[in-house]
Homo-oligomer: A and B are copies of this chain.
Amino acid sequence: MLFTAKGAVNWRVKDLMFFEGSEKKVEVVVAENAPSLRSLGQPFWEKMVATCNATILSNISNDKCDAYLLSESSLFVWEHHFVMLTCGTTTLVESVKTFMDIFEKDQILSVIFQRKNEYQSHLQKSSFAEDISSLQKRMSGVAYQLGNLDTHHNYIYHLDKPYVPDDNDYTYELLMYHIQGPVANYLRSEGQDAQTIRTLMNFEDILPGFEINDFVFEPFGYSMNALKDGFYATMHITPQEESSYVSFETNLDLTPTNCEIFNKLISILQPSSFDIISFNGIPNVDAKNHLLMNQIEEPLSCGYTMRFYEYMQTQENPLRAHKLK
């Protein structure tokens, strides 16, 4: 099935198509005495998703979680919390406000809103500063920037309220830039199919027992949600040569395996740089081809320690410039 990505930022200077995977993410936890989020039903989530100009493409479910695949985005809903990732020019903050409207203030235990670095911020409908000003009218939060402005960084805004995450509450995010090699070439080619991408990514090996729901975009681009019990994984690929970007995220605890999933993805996609962001887990990748350029560790008042690591390769020989026009 083919579909044109809607949320994407396209910037065309004659032959160059620039596509920025400008991701935003929100994770919200509500109290045990609040209504079950799953029982709100698909019509509610359709409306919430529409608020930020995304649409639901398909969904999978198990006992613990409903996973919706959106236009270049994902939504995971458990009984008392949800995670939503969007990209392109979506206005995720509007969805957050739509969600908060139906709950009492004291039923909201945790809100974490993230936004990654953007390089064409003039193409976005709002800035991070505007997003947090808007959220700040509904709640009292704090905001941080992890990483320097002139290179990779991640913005976070969270509700400034004590919260105690479960012992097994981890999040690991892997953001890969400038993918290279045969798999990257396939992802940039026409006429892809989902099964080939699943095989190339080796999902059977890295996500054993997970149910997979995925989508191939036109002319290229790929999104994947995976579920197994209460665990999720999600992957979004924007393979365009000059600005390729792949994100992978999971709530599996990767510590015992030294981030084996991340190591495998890095080896398959050969990014020239990548970032790892974690909440509570301590990532330990085997980055033999990359240098750790920057690392940030910030204990947050909402109960998580957030970590940010930026890895890069050196460029041994001079490259040519990108011709724009």
Contacts and interface: CB of A to CB of B under 8 A. Distances in A.
A124 B145 CA distance: 21
Contacts of A195: none
A127 B132 contact: no
B119 A150 contact: yes
A144 B293 contact: no
A300 to B, nearest CB: 9
A11 interface: yes
Q: Which 4 A-B pairs have the closest CB atoms?
A: A144-B321, A298-B321, A297-B318, A143-B325
A120 B145 CA distance: 14
A129 to B, nearest CB: 5
Q: Which of A313, A317, A325 has the most CB of B within 10 A?
A: A325
A315 B150 CA distance: 15
A320 B298 CA distance: 6
A81 to B, nearest CB: 23
Contact of A121 (B119, B178, B324): B119
Given A291-B314, A314-B292, A150 B325 contact: no
Interface string A289-325: 0011111111000000011100011110111111111
Given A119-B149, A122-B122, A293 B314 contact: yes
Q: What is the count of identical protomers in the complex?
A: 2
Interface residues of A, number: 58
Contacts of A144: 321-324
Nearest to A318: B297
Given A122-B127, A148-B178, A312 B293 contact: yes
Interface of A: 11, 13, 18, 20, 117, 119-122, 124, 127, 129, 132, 136, 141-146, 148-152, 155-157, 177-178, 242-243, 272-273, 291-298, 306-308, 312-315, 317-325
Given A150-B243, A292-B314, A312-B312, 15 more contacts: A13-B143, A119-B119, A119-B150, A120-B127, A122-B127, A144-B324, A146-B322, A293-B293, A293-B312, A295-B317, A296-B320, A297-B319, A297-B320, A298-B320, A306-B321
A157 B321 contact: no
Contacts of A136: 325
A226 to B, nearest CB: 26
